[in-house]
Amino acid sequence: MRDRLLLAAGSPSAAFAQDVLQPYQLVRSLQLIQDRIAGGDHAALPMQAKLLEMIDARMRDANAEDFKEPKNFRALLVYGMSGGNPVTVAAAASRAMTDPQSLAIAKGVVAYLNGRPANAIEMLKPIDPMSVPPDIGAFLALVKGSLLAADDPAQALALLDEARLLSPGTLVEEAALRRSVGIAAAQGDAARFALASTQYVASYLYSPYASQFADAFVSGVITLHMAISQDKIADITSMMDPEREKVIYLRIARHAAIDGMTELSAFAAAKAELGRNGGGSQDDPRSQLYSSLSTMTSASVDEVRAKLGKIDRGKLSQNDRDLLDAAQAVAGEVVAPVKTPAKVEAAPAAAKGDEAKAAAEASTNPANADLPPVEGAMPD
């Protein structure tokens, strides 16, 4: 049996041609592939896509007799919670004769896949993931944790812990840790954020979904900058390879500089500039830019202007070139001579009445107030 599963995992079409596998056998093959993906095997991604296609076809063909085997119905649920086709899951579940709880899970999964979170929560909330077989309990905990992240983050984190407990070393754990990072940051829980980040970097740094973790980590460091120490940030990033660590610090430096967090920006820019053990290159224009931004309120204006002027703008992205232009404009305004207001010439007598009326109307209309736009002032 294991040989057939491994064959399906390595060459799905060959195994399927050999004989028709049961739905649960195909889903086990999918899980083997997903565990390889979680460990950093990016080459397994096309195999996952192919297996999902095969499972979809097999589930469409499955009849009531197939689903008398409980493992096959649980496989249907796992397929759905792995990102399967909601139409296939709904159609297959309608043909199955199984217990009410399993059918409720199926309905909740379909609602989740169709973007109806309120309905999904209503169907799944009464079901304890720890009370169902572990092969679906882990996925159920992951889905419920994701659904409750906004409304009940504490419960969401507890559910994500259950998902990890039920399925360690798998793509389920990878996703649970990744989502825990963002939820903990939103909750202001610096200790939980640091723990989840440490665990993720230690086990899943090379997952193809690690870029999502990086987004959550950078955002969390900015959000929790008053609660998480620079030493703790350095402890976490020290487990990364040097290039990933540098990119993380560049992103932190940029966000911190824009948000006016000069101390954090200076720390991150220095880390990116010096590299691990002080052996980095100081020629990266990004770190030079972010470092300059972090010193605009502390260093002399001439010093900042000189440093900004040496940056090779041709090596910057368009967004960073805009940032450089803005910084140079601000520095230039500081040293610019004060302008003397121009004298207003008297208007011809015939036009004075109309102009005065227009000016009065404009001054009483807030929409016409001559105020500069504020970046980031509009709600998201």
C-alpha triplet 198, 203, 208: angle, nearest 5°: 110
CA distances from 12 to 2, 20, 27 (A): 14, 11, 11
Span 215-237, mean pLDDT?
Answer: 98
Question: What is the number of residues in the chain?
Answer: 380
For the segment 272-323, what is each residue's pLDDT rounded down to a tens digit?
A: 988 876 666 667 888 888 888 877 766 677 787 888 888 888 889 999 999 8
pLDDT at 60 over 90: yes
The three-state (H, E, C) secondary structure of 47-93, written as one string: HHHHHHHHHHHHHHHCCCCHHHCHHHHHHHHHHHHCCCCHHHHHHHH
Q: 249: exposed, middle or buried (C-beta count within 10 Å: 0-12, 13-18, 19+)?
A: buried
CA distances from 198 to 44, 79, 172, 205, 282 (A): 25, 30, 17, 10, 28
Q: Is residue 205 part of a domain?
A: no
For the segment 27-40, what is each residue's pLDDT rounded down to a tens digit?
A: 999 999 999 999 99
For the segment 127-172, what is each residue's pLDDT rounded down to a tens digit?
A: 999 999 998 999 999 999 999 999 999 999 999 999 999 999 999 9
The residue behind tokens 């929409």 is 367
Q: Is residue 280 part of a domain?
A: yes
Domain total of the chain: 1
CA–CA separation, 182 vs 212, rounded Å?
10
pLDDT at 372 over 50: no
Q: Is residue 289 part of a domain?
A: yes
The CB density around residue 365, as the number of other CB atoms within 10 Å, is 9
Confidence (pTM): 0.79
State the first-to-last Cα distance of the chain, in angstroms, to the nearest integer. Answer: 53
Which pLDDT does position 369 carry in this prediction? Answer: 34
What stretches of 148-189 show up as alpha helix (H) in DSSP?
A: 153-166, 171-187
Q: Is residue 376 part of a domain?
A: no
Instruction: Please report how many Cα atoms fall inside a 13 Å half-sphere around the Cα of residue 96, on the Cβ side.
Output: 32
Q: Is residue 292 part of a domain?
A: yes
Q: Is residue 176 part of a domain?
A: no
Phi, psi of 98 (to 5 degrees): -145, -175
The residue ranking higher by pLDDT, 58 or 369, is 58
SS3 of the chain: helix, strand, coil, percent, to 5: 70, 0, 30
Q: Is residue 251 part of a domain?
A: yes
Expressed as residue numbers, the domain containing 261 is 241-334
Q: Is residue 316 part of a domain?
A: yes
CA–CA separation, 193 vs 220, rounded Å?
8
The residue behind tokens 């109307």 is 361
